[in-house]
Amino acid sequence: MSLTFNIHQLERRALALKGELAAAEMQWDTRDELIRVSQPLHYRLEIQRLEKGILVQGCLRQVLDCECVRCLKPFAHEVKLEPWSCLLELEGEDRVAVVNDCVDLTPYLREDIFLAFPQHPLCGLQCVGLANPQNDVKPGGAWESGSAAVVWAELDKLKLD
């Protein structure tokens, strides 16, 4: 079931909606094997009628199941849009679809949350990536020191004949 409301409810007063939509209801298609959506979308919205449209404002929160692009460890990433707003036009070329006096907000929620997904999910800014057991560098060695001069000195020692 999608998130819909009846436009006639807005004639008397603003409408407040709070709840969650299951991931299956949102019909996520991330096309990214490092990002999965299994948890529900949480929303808190206020909807009000304007002269030629509908204003939707509130907060959206979606927790993503991600894998770090550097170390491939799983982690949770929260996408939170607060404040979030959307203007739905009732007239003109870009008017919102009204079916049986109801408007479906699901596509608008999905689009804005999707645009906030991380492009390259990282478990943390300090993630160093996968450990490579073939490296000769010992813990506390040149690679961990962070000094570019030390790293270049180690590279200069390589014999590439």
CA distance linking residue 18 with residue 40, whole number of Å: 13
Instruction: For residue 83, say if its preceding peptide bond is cis, omega within 30 degrees of 0.
Output: yes
Q: How many residues does the chain have?
A: 161
Q: Is 73 a residue whose pLDDT tops 70? A: yes
pLDDT of res. 31:
83
Do residues 65 and 37 make contact, with C-beta atoms less than 8 angstroms apart?
yes
Q: What is the pLDDT of residues 109-152, one digit of tens each?
A: 999 999 999 999 999 888 888 776 555 445 555 445 556 777 78
Are 49 and 123 members of one domain?
A: yes
What is the average pLDDT across 7-20?
92
Measured between alpha carbons, how far is residue 106 from residues 2, 101, 109, 110, 138 in Å? Answer: 6, 16, 5, 6, 52
Mean pLDDT, to the nearest integer, of 2-27?
91
Residue 85: which of 48, 54, 49, 55 has the closest Cα? 55
Question: In this predicted structure, what is the pLDDT of residue 142?
Answer: 47
At 146 the pLDDT is 57
What is the Cα–Cα distance from 34 to 51, expressed in whole angstroms?
43
Do 43 and 94 fall into the same domain? yes
- The Cβ-side half-sphere exposure at 114, using a 13 Å CA radius, reads 14
Q: Is there a single domain that holds both residue 45 and residue 101?
A: yes
Mean pLDDT for the chain overall: 87
Say whether pLDDT at 1 is over 70. Answer: no
User: Do 12 and 85 fall within a single domain?
Assistant: yes
Same-domain status, 111 and 48: yes
Domain co-membership, 125 together with 142: no
The verdict on 102 and 39 lying in the same domain is yes
Q: Are residues 95 and 139 in the same domain?
A: no
Domain count within the chain = 2
- Range of the structural domain that residue 152 is part of: 131-161
Confidence of residue 102 (pLDDT cuts 50, 70, 90): very high
Cβ atoms of residues 29 and 23 within 8 Å: no
Per-residue pLDDT, 27: 87
**Residue 124 and residue 139 in one domain:** no
Say if CB 45 and CB 18 are below 8 A apart: yes
Task: In whole angstroms, give the CA distance from residue 2 to residue 31.
Answer: 22
**Do 95 and 146 share a domain, yes or no?**
no
Residues 76 and 123 in one domain: yes
pLDDT: which is higher, 31 or 73: 73
Instruction: For residue 5, name the pLDDT band (cuts at 50, 70, 90).
Output: very high
- 126, 144: one domain: no
